[in-house]
Structure 1
Amino acid sequence: GEMVEFSSGVKGIALNLENENVGIVVFGSDTAIKEGDLVKRTGSIVDVPAGKAMLGRVVDALGVPIDGRGALSDHERRRVEVKAPGIIERKSVHEPMQTGLKAVDSLVPIGRGQRELIIGDRQTGKTAIAIDTILNQKQLNSKATSESETLYCVYVAIGQKRSTVAQLVQILSEANALEYSILVAATASDPAPLQFLAPYSGCAMGEYFRDNGMHALIIYDDLSKQAVAYRQMSLLLRRPPGREAFPGDVFYLHSRLLERAAKRSDQTGAGSLTALPVIETQAGDVSAYIPTNVISITDGQICLETELFYRGIRPAINVGLSVSRVGSAAQLKAMKQVCGSPKLELAQYREVAAFA
């Protein structure tokens, strides 16, 4: 979709092209647009700023700073929608991406370049796992001697309250974790097109590190809200609705985003982009439409349960349902030896508990 500009200065993206009309979704307030306004083509596809200048900043879905700290210093611009790396350019996941949470690192290990879904009901600590992972990289990054040893973090907040995002910025800055992080925020009060675009913008920023031989982690919090925003846009554009009124290409919406997280081969710089998408379920229904879609795209999932959360088990991980499809390839030797027995013991415990 090409960017267009209205005479009021509001930008939009052309998504429907028909004989008599063009369907444009607007990135901004629609109140400034009136009948008879001129709409100009910008001649460019949607792009966002990327690079080290973004670290420590809070930006909106179009990469415009919203933290009141002035304009961005020197940066490059990257397209929001690019094709994922091909098979030849990839390498299988083999380095650990340690979250610093024992339950995750021992039982569902995550490797650099993996996509691991965090799924659970509301208020089960999904965001807490993601934020703790960012905070725990502080220790690792302070010991790093080169760029390739640092893990840069991108956090994309989709459809969250502004107060929640502000609180998050405060937590990260107090822990000095903002210096290696980028925050992309499309809050609940932002128009649906911005909530739809934010994950792709964040991904483009993360890809800068991946393609330059560095390592990055991207968190999409959460993709359920992006799907809802996309449904809203599609229905307004008169696209035929499918299951749960989502458009037919809602699977492609997420698959093309998550396929961009990859481990690059040594010939292409050996960089990596690890993705931790978050999905919110309703009453623990993991078999709903969007959850099953994203489970089938990712390389494993961390399932969180309300019952465990209220029993004081935190992170509230259901070890039986959680899985990492990369498995022990993403663990250090020492970790493998230690973690063999707890897995077996937990399985035996669940077996006995089922009869009790």
Structure 2
Amino acid sequence: MQDGTDTEPVSGWAWWPSWRPTSMSLLKSTEAKLLNCIQNELWARFVTLPTQDRIWTLTVTNRSQPRVQRVSKTPLVMVHGFGGGVGLWIRNLDPLSHSRPVIAFDLLGFGRSSRPRFPYDAALAEEKFVSSIERWRQALGLERMILLGHSLGGYLATSYAIQYPERVSHLILADPWGFPERPRSVADGTDDKRPNFPRWAKAVFSVVTLFNPLSVIRAAGPWGPGLVNRFRPDFKRKFEDLFDDDTITQYIYHCNAQNPSGEVGFKAMSESLGWAKSPMLQRVHLLSPSLPVTLLYGTQSWMDNSTGYKVAHLRTQCYTRTVMIEGASHHIYADQPEEFNRVVQEICDSVD
């Protein structure tokens, strides 16, 4: 496994790391515990963009498969959601790499990737994310890919596919964020049918209107890891058969206690309560008619799964499919990994 040198940008708030029990080195070591679960061949490295930003990237391949077969298959590229990182795919990387390379990366501004300044304008922030994905693709020399995005990753994957349709063989959206338009009744406070957001989401959304979404974790200093455990105990349960300690919540903490960057971009793109300023439903008609799209939703997710059928309605005569994963919440890849992996593998097999 190839690695790179860890760096952390210095800013006017450089005294904060002494208050926050985190560092890029701690993130690296915590992530290593997760990656130790991977049984197949793993290549982990930084991919440097022309901007000199670096994207932390994993490539997982089946060590028992002949190399000729590996390179003949379209790779599956996985894009994590807000506040996540490559480590959260540990239940999926091995199974999905059985017949093709699986590539996962930390979005610019998240995880171990570089944390540059993001614009406060929604369109410019979105373009910074999308252009970094394209430059990353160019640096890797990928011609085409099966592109899978979860939550925020689904929003950005769709934006990418609109701009670079020739690079995407199939678009898979796992509980994507930012698709529905914000109802007027939500804006004026008269809506009686608001989504039943979980408690942690309401806490995050209440902060997002005033500060960067995860500022409370950094402001809590040494109490930050405890806050993650308190607000997201579900993550520990999702991976309890792999880790009997706080490895997962520590990973989430270290991913998000660093200097804010990608979350600044997310805030720029967000309305209060987590709606996107530029809802993707207004743009899905711009996707190539020949591009197959599959949307995956958990039956217990707080996301509005009717969005999948709206996408199909807007893409008349285009392949658009919605699949419901029983018993899964928003993080369907971890809640029901076997069924998630089965559906994704089926989609990949349909490509080549």
Q: Which TM-score applies when normalising by structure 1?
A: 0.33
Q: Which has the higher contact order (CA 8 A, sep 6+)?
A: 1
* Greater strand fraction, Structure 1 or Structure 2: 1
- TM-score, with length taken from structure 2: 0.33
